Structure 1
Amino acid sequence: MLRFRSIPVLGALALLGACGTPQTTEAFDQRMAGYVGQSEAALVASLGVPSRTYEADGRRLLQWDFVQQSSAPAVYPSLGLGFGSFGFGRGGGSGVGVGTGLGFGLGGAAPPRACSVVFETRDGTVQGFNRNGTGCVA
């Protein structure tokens, strides 16, 4: 039997599952493979002007460089050192304290992830592609 208290939890889980699809290199490759067989003009119209081009032996290589900002915060180890003092007024004791600590800092953004994709064209038609980098996910 479902109780009314568990309905918001189930709803939140359903929304969480619907929100994100995992980003994978396989999905990226599938998306880029859709350009194979297309014209070079269609490729440029879709991805924009390439970062670099190179021509040799009847082939033309077009390179795009993408930088993807990471949405995850940076997590880094940190070391801390603390000093303190305390006193109790008249006739009481007083002291000084020193301490060290080890923890994990959380803040800022993780470094951006880069992706470089090179398409090979021959006679104005995309023949294949190569990718390189940690940001090649879709």
Structure 2
Amino acid sequence: MRRLLFLTLLALAACAQEPPLEARLQPLVGRTEAELVGALGVPNATYEAEGTRFLQYEDRTSTVYPGDPFWPGGPYRRWGAPIYSPPLVINRVCSITFGVRQGRVAGFTFRGNGCR
């Protein structure tokens, strides 16, 4: 019985997902620039054009998956020295740009393979 309860809780936890990035950023629209900086920190870059101030935030992450050994002659022939495949490195970047007009966040855009 406890095992069934544990498996049920594990399955529910696997299904739990956080809201999409757009839904998490939407509450910042309408806030002041100071509130935005207070919530997200100092931006990586700023730019002004035609009365709009753009604040860009960038997040970079890298994940390294170690190489796997394999044996010449198939997986069940364990004679000889194993050969290792090289590690796999995945780089992810998410760039989020907020547009601020008259001191308030007017909108945002995001792009990159790391935006979740």
Category of TM-score, reference length = shorter chain: 0.7 to 0.9
Is residue 35 from structure 1 mapped to residue 14 from structure 2 by the alignment? no
Task: Indicate yes or no: 2:74 matched with 1:61.
Answer: no
Structure 1 gap ranges (5+): 1-6, 83-96
Identity %: 33
Structure of higher CA gyration radius: 1
Report deviation, 1:54. Answer: 0.3
> 1:4-62 deviations in whole A, cap 9, x for unaligned?
xxx23322223213434235xx6210011110011111000000000000001000000
Question: Which protein, 1 or 2, shows the higher relative CO under an 8 Å CA cutoff with sep ≥ 6?
Answer: 1
* TM-score (ref. length: structure 2): 0.73
Whether contact under 8 Å (2:67, 2:87) holds in the other structure is no
TM-score, normalising length from structure 1?
Answer: 0.62
Unaligned regions of 5+ residues in structure 2, if any? 74-78
Q: Count how many residue pairs are aligned between Structure 1 and Structure 2.
A: 110
Offset, 1:122:
0.3
CA distance in 1 between counterparts of 2:115 and 2:47 reads: 22
Matched, 1:22 2:17: yes
